[in-house]
Amino acid sequence: NTAFLEDVIVKSPKIMVEDNFKGSAQFFAAEKIMIGKDAVLKYPSVLCIVGKSSENKTITVDENSKISGAVVLIDDSELRNGKTFIKLHKGSMLTGEVFCTEKIMPEGIIHGSVYARQVFHDAGAAIHDNCLADSEIDVTKRPAYYVSVPVLKNKNKRNNGVFKKIL
């Protein structure tokens, strides 16, 4: 892998980021985003799926990958089949925010906030709803410079800003 992306916006129905990728980008997909093993997405990276369709939507971050930014999955459809979710594999780390109108399986470390309809844990033989296992979520470890994604509408508090690296 010799590609390096910085300050790039990628838009496609499905996005697959290969193992060992390094860079910062904002990825917008309609159906699926997959981040390979040992990838590093620097701040202010974004993984985002927003929309309404009958298709299942998934964002998957594989083992030992590190993301600094936001992971957003918003499904406006009426369908609730349990197949629309975010999965952070063991050893993965997210510094920032997760916003999901469906389910999230956080097996990794999250230094930041998580907003989700439901959490779940896949133990292999069974899937446990409303269960956190093998995960760490700590908002106090999110850096002070982090700018929140303006997903939640709050008229009393302004929490958005320019997503650009300053040298």
Share of the chain above pLDDT 70, in %: 83
Half-sphere exposure of 51 (CA within 13 A, CB side): 14
In the prediction, which pLDDT does 158 show?
A: 42
The pTM score is 0.85
3-state DSSP assignment of residue 94: strand
Residue 35: exposed, middle, or buried by beta-carbon count in 10 A (0-12, 13-18, 19+)?
Answer: buried
pLDDT value at 153 more than 70 = no
Question: Within a 10 A sphere around the Cβ of 154, how many other Cβ atoms?
Answer: 9
